[in-house]
Each structure stands twice: as structure tokens, then as C-alpha cells.
Amino acid sequence: MKKDDTLTLTVEKILGQDRRALARAITLVESQNPAHQKQAFALLDALLPHAHRAIRIGISGAPGVGKSTLIEALGLWLIEQQKRLAILTVDPSSTQSQGSILGDKTRMQKLGADKRAFIRPSPSSGRLGGVATSTREAVLVCEAAGFDVVIIETMGVGQSEIAVASMVDTFILLVQPGSGDELQGVKKGILELVDMIIINKADGDLKKLANLSAAQHARSLKVPVLKASALHNEWIKEIWEAVEKHREVLKKNGALQKKIKQQVEQWFLESITENFLKKLKTDLKTNPELGRFISSIDAKKISVTHAASLAYYHLEKMK
Ligand SMILES: Nc1nc2c(ncn2[C@@H]2O[C@H](COP(=O)(O)OP(=O)(O)OP(=O)(O)O)[C@@H](O)[C@H]2O)c(=O)[nH]1
Ligand SMILES: [Mg+2]
């Protein structure tokens, strides 16, 4: 079979919602192998007309706050509403230990067993900005496969939050009830990216505290503040309605298109930066001139900033 035919076949299978083709396509776009990357580029270009078809949601929050439990509850509810959904989990630690992946699989057991849902861990595989790049591409593949909703779960560690916020329509922060202190651990920059706050575990002994926190946040924050009990399936419908409302507002004043445009441009910039950095890292090892700067830094003959500035001019001259 010719290369083009294989590509056409793969595209058709993905559009036809073939799960194995979908899983394989995501593996391909995540691959670091240069030969795979070529195929991945061709595939992504072919799938591009289907980008941004799904409602994209990012869910973030500290470990153990209940993200997976909430996604399972919301996911099962969405399935009842005849929606198909894909879940991508971004976990920087998953390359070292498979712990969290296994955890998520067991936590989203019902969803994992349902054909209308697709769960996929998205490893960062040590790539610079890799969390962002391969997840964005995985989202695109899922959109081509006709999922109505794509949810990305990310663990509360700075960099991946910012990356995920920059690829979704609605970015949700999940917190535990805790009389207002729960946002103290959240980095300021991240709070600015949040479209909605959900106070989870609003049940049992924590119910009162959750009400208090909700009232407090509603006063101090500009974004919608909701409560949930993911464990007991409470306020799930309200959460979905809030997501839809947020989207409608974005759509009405053209902000969604603007947001998507900015996200795509940021992605482009990040990708170029990633390529430059890769090249620079090799140059540092192989280019003797650049190597000399490092030796001078090591010998404390020159400050890092000074050496960096000289190295930059050196590279400019070499062009
Ligand atoms: N009481 C109560 N417990 C909950 C609720 N949601 C989740 N939990 C419990 O909290 C624990 C952690 O839940 P997960 O859904 O795994 O949390 P997570 O945020 O996905 O955790 P990581 O992926 O490890 O960061 C589990 O024991 C859940 O049963 C809730 O609404 N109420
Ligand atoms: Mg989880």
C-alpha cells in the first residue's frame, strides 16, 4: 500500500470513530521518533479541519481533591445526555511511576468500561513543553474522532496547569472546603486563568465548611463558584450548566474565537521555542565556541548573564 493510501485509511478510521486507530494515532503524535513525527505531521494536517469541534474542559486541583471522581460523575452524566467524551490526563509524574495512571483507571472504572468514553493518560515524556504539545495534538485527534466533550485532568503542579489552561475553552479549578485558605496554595498566575471554581467534597462533615467557602469565594472572586459532591453525584448537572453558560457567553461576544486564536498562536510560539531549544542544546555540546563560554562560566571568569549575552551575539554572527 502506498503511503498516501495508509494515511487516508487512518484518517477514515479515526473519523469513523475506530478506537484502536484513535489510540494508535495518539501514540504516533506523542512519539519522539523523527520518522514517526513526519507521519504525525501528515496525519495532523489531514485532521485539522475537525479541530475545535468539541467542548474542551480543563480540570485542575491539588492531588486528592477529587478530580478523577468528579470527571467520572460528570462523564457518566454526559453519557446519559447522549454525549461522547474523551478524557486525557496530564500527569508529569507518570513517566517515572505509572501510579497515577493506574489510579485513574480504577477511579474512573465505570467510565472506562463504557464505549462512549475514551480515557487516555498523556505522558509528558520529559519533553520540553511536551505536556502541552502532545496533549494539544491528542485533543485534535479526539475531536476528529467525533467526541462532543474533551476533558483534560491535570495535577496541581504549576507548569502543566498553565499549559492546560491554554488549550481549553473552560478551565476549572477544584478545591476542598476549607474556610477560604484553600486558594492560598494556588499560584496567583494560575488563579487568573481559572474560569470556574468548584468546591468539592461538599458532603458529610465538610458540608457546612463548603457552604462557607462557597459564599466567601463568591464574594472575593469574579468567576462562578460552585459546590459539588463528586462522590455522591451531587450538583453535577449544575456544573454542566455552568460550563455551557460560560461557553455561551464566550461565543456571544466573539471571545471564544479570540481565545482560540490566541491559544493557537501561543502554541505556535511554544513549538518554535521548543525546536530552538533542542537545537541550542545540541549546539552547546558540539560547538566549541559555545563550549568555551561554559568553561569560562565554570571557571568563574565570566558571569552567566554576560556569557549568555556574548553567546547570543556569537550565534547571530554565525547565521
Ligand atoms: N467525601 C468525599 N470524598 C471524595 C469526593 N470526591 C472524591 N473523594 C475522595 O477523595 C479521594 C481522592 O479522589 P480522586 O478523585 O482520586 O482525586 P484526584 O484529584 O483525581 O487525585 P489525583 O489524581 O491523585 O491528583 C478518593 O478517596 C475519593 O473517594 C467527594 O465529593 N466527597
Ligand atoms: Mg486523579
63 Cβ inside 6 Å of ligand 1: yes
Calculate the CA 102 to chain-centre distance.
19
Same domain, 119 and 200: yes
Query: Torsions phi, psi of 113, nearest 5?
Result: -90, -5
Same domain, 146 and 82: yes
26 Cβ inside 6 Å of ligand 1: no
Same domain, 158 and 292: no
Domain count, the chain: 2
With cut-offs at 50, 70 and 90, classify the pLDDT of residue 99: very low
Same domain, 239 and 281: no
Nearest to residue 146, comparing CAs of 72, 42, 50, 290?
Answer: 50
How far, CA to CA in Å, does 60 sit from each of 28, 205, 317? 26, 24, 45
Q: What is the DSSP letter of 49?
A: G
**Greater pLDDT, 119 or 319:** 119
From first CA to last CA, the distance across the chain in angstroms is 42
With cut-offs at 50, 70 and 90, classify the pLDDT of residue 187: confident
Ligand 1 atom with the shortest distance to the CA of 61: 19
Domain boundary among 253, 279, 304: 253
Domain boundary among 230, 253, 276: 253
pLDDT digits (tens, 9 = 90+) for 232-273: 999 999 999 999 999 999 999 899 999 999 999 988 998 898
Q: Which residues contact 245 (CB under 8 A, 6 or more apart)?
A: 224
Same domain, 182 and 83: yes
10 Cβ inside 6 Å of ligand 1: no
- 43 found inside a domain: no
- 221 found inside a domain: yes
Does the pLDDT of residue 69 top 90, yes or no?
yes
pLDDT digits (tens, 9 = 90+) for 18-31: 999 999 999 999 88
pLDDT at 192: 87
Same domain, 280 and 180: no
Task: Identify the nearest ligand to the CA of 156 by its number.
Answer: 1
Ligand 1 atom with the shortest distance to the CA of 69: 15
pLDDT at 22: 96
Q: Where are the beta strands (DSSP E) in 200-312?
A: 225-227
pLDDT at 275: 85
**Across 34-38, 86-90, 98-102, 280-284, least confident range:** 98-102
Of 60, 65, 67, 69, the residue with max ligand 1 atoms within 8 A of its CB, to mutate for a pocket test, comes to 69
Task: Identify the nearest ligand to the CA of 227 by its number.
Answer: 1
With cut-offs at 50, 70 and 90, classify the pLDDT of residue 96: very low
User: Can you give the residue range of the structural domain that contains 280?
Assistant: 265-318
With cut-offs at 50, 70 and 90, classify the pLDDT of residue 123: low
Domain boundary among 227, 253, 279: 253
67 Cβ inside 6 Å of ligand 1: yes
CA–centroid distance, residue 127 to ligand 1 (Å):
28
Does the pLDDT of residue 315 top 50, yes or no?
yes
Percent of the chain's residues with pLDDT above 90:
61
Report the alpha-carbon distance of residue 155 to residue 60 in Å, rounded: 6
Same domain, 132 and 270: no
Strands 55-61 and 170-175: parallel
For ligand 1, atom 14, which residue shows the shortest CA distance?
66
Same domain, 214 and 294: no
Does the pLDDT of residue 1 top 80, yes or no?
no
**Greater pLDDT, 283 or 103:** 283
CA–centroid distance, residue 64 to ligand 1 (Å):
5
pLDDT at 249: 94
Q: Which residues contact 296 (CB under 8 A, 6 or more apart)?
A: 302, 307
pTM attached to this predicted model: 0.88
Report the alpha-carbon distance of residue 61 to residue 217 in Å, rounded: 16
- 220 found inside a domain: yes
